[in-house]
Amino acid sequence: MFGLAVAAFAVHMSGAGAHPHEMAAHRGAPSRIIASQRIGPYVASVWTDPEVGSGPMYVVLEAADGQTFTPPSAVRVGIAPVSGRLPEVVHDAHAEPVRRGARFMTTVAFDRAERWTLRVLIGGSAGGGQLTSQVEATPNVAAGPFVLVLSLLPFLAVTGVWWRAAVVRRRTVALP
């Protein structure tokens, strides 16, 4: 068992193509907000994990039925609060290596927990188009300040156990 564990750790430390975000084991998994929608010659899905502060945005493209896949030349993601309090900000997404189709990624900024309008713009020689959706940005630590209290508890617990043990030990040693 520990041989496997050591091997896994060695693979991890060697890199093995791990992108920092890809290995964000303790961040919430992105969820699909647009599922397999036809856009030009593509079938597109959009995944995101919209945390307040920043959120990754993935645009996954595959060839539509009967179409030959030609990668788009540009994929952009525009976001704006539904309330209209800020103008739309458009982000260029960069291509990531995948075995089939194409995947584009960018990080967008959500400055407040509220509903946002999302536009995905795809352009290229094979055609393109625009997808629209909405997404709710939420605080990135759902537990909030509770985390502060939670992080204090282990110190209190260990102190309590140590103190109790010290008291019992003193009584034991004091026995005739």
Q: Cβ 156 to another protein, closest distance in Å?
A: 10
**Distant-in-sequence contacts of 136-145, Cβ < 8 A, 24+ apart:** 136/50, 137/50, 137/51, 137/52, 137/55, 137/110, 137/112, 137/113, 138/50, 138/51, 138/52, 138/113, 139/51, 139/52, 139/113, 140/51, 140/52, 140/53
Give the whole-angstrom CA distance, residue 83 versus residue 110. 13
Q: By rule CB under 8 A, what string of x and - marks binding of each residue 99-118 to another protein?
A: x---x-x-------------
Q: Among 5, 65, 68, 87, indicate the residue that binds another protein (CB under 8 A).
A: 5
| Coil/strand/helix, residue 28 | coil
Segment interacting with another protein, rule: CB under 8 A, options 11-19, 73-81, 85-93, 121-129: 11-19
Q: What is the DSSP letter of 160?
A: H
Q: ∠ at Cα 46 (45, 47), nearest 5°?
A: 125
Segment interacting with another protein, rule: CB under 8 A, options 71-79, 80-88, 122-130, 157-165: 157-165
Segment interacting with another protein, rule: CB under 8 A, options 7-15, 69-77, 78-86, 121-129: 7-15
Residue 65 or 125: which CB sits closer to another protein? 65
Q: Among 23, 74, 82, 113, indicate the residue that binds another protein (CB under 8 A).
A: 23
* Strand pairing category for 55-63 and 102-108: antiparallel
Binding site for another protein (CB under 8 A): 2, 4-5, 8-9, 11-13, 16-18, 20-26, 28-32, 45, 47, 49, 51, 53-54, 56, 58, 60, 96, 99, 103, 105, 138, 140-145, 147-148, 150-152, 154-155, 157-158, 161-162, 164-165, 168-169, 172-173, 175
